[in-house]
Protein backbone atom coordinates (compact mmCIF):
# COMPACT_ATOMS: atom_id res chain seq x y z
CA UNK A 1 0.00 0.00 0.00
CA UNK A 2 1.36 3.43 -0.94
CA UNK A 3 2.03 5.80 1.96
CA UNK A 4 1.82 9.58 1.36
CA UNK A 5 3.18 11.78 4.13
CA UNK A 6 0.93 14.55 5.40
CA UNK A 7 1.61 16.97 8.24
CA UNK A 8 -0.67 17.66 11.19
CA UNK A 9 -0.26 20.54 13.65
CA UNK A 10 -2.15 20.97 16.89
CA UNK A 11 -3.59 24.48 17.10
CA UNK A 12 -3.25 24.49 20.90
CA UNK A 13 -0.43 22.04 21.71
CA UNK A 14 -0.94 22.46 25.46
CA UNK A 15 -4.69 21.83 25.34
CA UNK A 16 -4.72 18.85 22.99
CA UNK A 17 -2.80 16.31 25.05
CA UNK A 18 -5.92 14.26 25.73
CA UNK A 19 -6.80 13.91 22.02
CA UNK A 20 -5.46 11.49 19.45
CA UNK A 21 -4.33 12.56 16.01
CA UNK A 22 -6.41 11.02 13.22
CA UNK A 23 -5.46 7.40 12.87
CA UNK A 24 -6.29 4.13 11.18
CA UNK A 25 -7.94 1.60 13.49
CA UNK A 26 -7.22 -1.46 11.40
CA UNK A 27 -4.41 -2.50 9.07
CA UNK A 28 -6.37 -2.00 5.82
CA UNK A 29 -8.72 0.81 6.89
CA UNK A 30 -9.30 3.49 4.26
CA UNK A 31 -10.19 6.25 6.67
CA UNK A 32 -8.49 7.83 9.66
CA UNK A 33 -10.87 8.47 12.54
CA UNK A 34 -11.14 12.07 13.75
CA UNK A 35 -11.79 12.96 17.40
CA UNK A 36 -13.95 15.87 18.53
CA UNK A 37 -12.00 18.71 20.18
CA UNK A 38 -15.02 20.29 21.85
CA UNK A 39 -14.40 22.03 25.19
CA UNK A 40 -17.79 20.95 26.52
CA UNK A 41 -20.44 18.50 25.26
CA UNK A 42 -22.39 19.60 22.17
CA UNK A 43 -25.91 18.25 21.75
CA UNK A 44 -27.23 18.11 18.20
CA UNK A 45 -31.02 18.06 18.06
CA UNK A 46 -32.81 16.12 15.29
CA UNK A 47 -32.55 18.12 12.07
CA UNK A 48 -29.82 20.41 13.41
CA UNK A 49 -26.26 20.93 12.16
CA UNK A 50 -23.17 21.52 14.32
CA UNK A 51 -19.65 22.46 13.28
CA UNK A 52 -17.31 20.43 15.48
CA UNK A 53 -13.64 21.41 15.89
CA UNK A 54 -10.82 18.90 15.51
CA UNK A 55 -8.13 21.01 17.18
CA UNK A 56 -5.65 20.56 14.32
CA UNK A 57 -4.69 21.87 10.90
CA UNK A 58 -3.17 19.80 8.12
CA UNK A 59 -0.81 20.26 5.18
CA UNK A 60 -1.29 17.99 2.17
CA UNK A 61 1.02 17.58 -0.80
CA UNK A 62 -0.16 19.00 -4.15
CA UNK A 63 -2.57 16.76 -6.09
CA UNK A 64 -4.19 15.32 -2.93
CA UNK A 65 -7.28 16.06 -0.86
CA UNK A 66 -8.65 14.74 2.40
CA UNK A 67 -12.25 13.62 2.06
CA UNK A 68 -14.33 13.99 5.22
CA UNK A 69 -16.73 11.07 5.47
CA UNK A 70 -19.28 9.83 7.99
CA UNK A 71 -18.51 7.02 10.41
CA UNK A 72 -20.84 4.16 9.56
CA UNK A 73 -21.68 3.32 13.17
CA UNK A 74 -22.79 6.87 13.97
CA UNK A 75 -24.84 7.02 10.79
CA UNK A 76 -26.60 3.68 11.21
CA UNK A 77 -27.11 3.73 14.98
CA UNK A 78 -27.84 7.45 15.55
CA UNK A 79 -28.46 9.13 12.17
CA UNK A 80 -25.34 11.30 12.57
CA UNK A 81 -23.66 12.04 9.26
CA UNK A 82 -21.59 14.69 7.47
CA UNK A 83 -23.79 17.50 6.18
CA UNK A 84 -21.78 17.94 2.95
CA UNK A 85 -20.52 14.36 2.61
CA UNK A 86 -17.98 13.92 1.42
CA UNK A 87 -16.43 17.14 2.57
CA UNK A 88 -13.13 18.21 1.04
CA UNK A 89 -9.98 19.56 2.62
CA UNK A 90 -7.88 21.05 -0.17
CA UNK A 91 -4.10 20.86 -0.33
CA UNK A 92 -3.76 24.63 0.12
CA UNK A 93 -6.05 24.94 3.19
CA UNK A 94 -4.24 25.59 6.47
CA UNK A 95 -7.07 26.42 8.87
CA UNK A 96 -8.59 24.20 11.52
CA UNK A 97 -10.25 21.06 10.24
CA UNK A 98 -13.85 21.27 11.39
CA UNK A 99 -16.51 18.64 10.86
CA UNK A 100 -20.06 19.59 9.88
CA UNK A 101 -22.33 17.03 11.52
CA UNK A 102 -26.06 16.75 10.91
CA UNK A 103 -28.50 14.76 13.04
CA UNK A 104 -30.87 12.87 10.73
CA UNK A 105 -31.99 10.69 13.61
CA UNK A 106 -35.04 10.99 15.84
CA UNK A 107 -33.25 11.70 19.13
CA UNK A 108 -30.76 14.35 20.27
CA UNK A 109 -27.14 13.22 20.01
CA UNK A 110 -24.36 14.52 22.24
CA UNK A 111 -20.77 14.84 21.04
CA UNK A 112 -18.18 14.67 23.82
CA UNK A 113 -14.50 15.55 23.75
CA UNK A 114 -12.51 12.74 22.18
CA UNK A 115 -15.49 11.06 20.48
CA UNK A 116 -14.64 9.72 17.05
CA UNK A 117 -16.99 11.71 14.81
CA UNK A 118 -15.79 11.30 11.22
CA UNK A 119 -13.11 9.76 9.08
CA UNK A 120 -10.59 11.28 6.70
CA UNK A 121 -9.67 9.55 3.45
CA UNK A 122 -6.61 10.75 1.54
CA UNK A 123 -7.37 10.79 -2.19
CA UNK A 124 -5.52 11.84 -5.34
CA UNK A 125 -6.86 14.80 -7.29
CA UNK A 126 -6.51 15.67 -10.94
CA UNK A 127 -7.72 18.82 -12.66
CA UNK A 128 -9.96 18.73 -15.71
CA UNK A 129 -8.94 20.48 -18.89
CA UNK A 130 -12.11 22.15 -20.20
CA UNK A 131 -12.73 22.05 -23.94
CA UNK A 132 -15.88 23.54 -25.46
CA UNK A 133 -17.32 21.63 -28.43
CA UNK A 134 -20.36 22.20 -30.66
CA UNK A 135 -21.83 18.73 -30.02
CA UNK A 136 -21.16 15.90 -27.61
CA UNK A 137 -20.61 12.31 -28.71
CA UNK A 138 -23.92 10.44 -28.49
CA UNK A 139 -24.48 7.41 -26.25
CA UNK A 140 -27.23 4.82 -25.93
CA UNK A 141 -28.42 6.48 -22.72
CA UNK A 142 -28.38 9.98 -24.16
CA UNK A 143 -29.98 12.60 -21.92
CA UNK A 144 -31.89 10.06 -19.77
CA UNK A 145 -31.62 11.23 -16.16
CA UNK A 146 -32.62 10.05 -12.71
CA UNK A 147 -34.02 6.51 -12.80
CA UNK A 148 -33.68 6.31 -16.56
CA UNK A 149 -31.71 3.05 -16.54
CA UNK A 150 -34.37 1.23 -14.46
CA UNK A 151 -34.24 -0.55 -11.13
CA UNK A 152 -32.50 -3.77 -12.17
Q: Which CATH architecture has domain 7-124?
A: Distorted Sandwich (2.70)
H/E stretch holding 74: helix 72-78
Residue extents of the structural domains in the chain:
7-124
pTM here is 0.87
Residue 12: phi, psi to the nearest 5? -135, 85
- Per-residue pLDDT at 64: 98
- Taking the C-alpha atoms of residue 43 and residue 71, their distance in angstroms, rounded to an integer, is 18
Run means of pLDDT, 10 residues per run, the chain, 152 residues: 93 87 93 97 98 97 97 95 96 97 98 97 96 92 75 63
Question: Which residues touch 19 (CB under 8 Å, ≥6 apart)?
Answer: 35, 37, 55, 113, 114
H/E stretch holding 66: strand 64-69
Amino acid sequence: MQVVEIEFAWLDPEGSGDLDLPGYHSELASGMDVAAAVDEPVTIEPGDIALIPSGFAVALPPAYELQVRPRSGLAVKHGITIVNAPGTIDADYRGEVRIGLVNLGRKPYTVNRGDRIAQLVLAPVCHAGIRVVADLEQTKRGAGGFGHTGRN
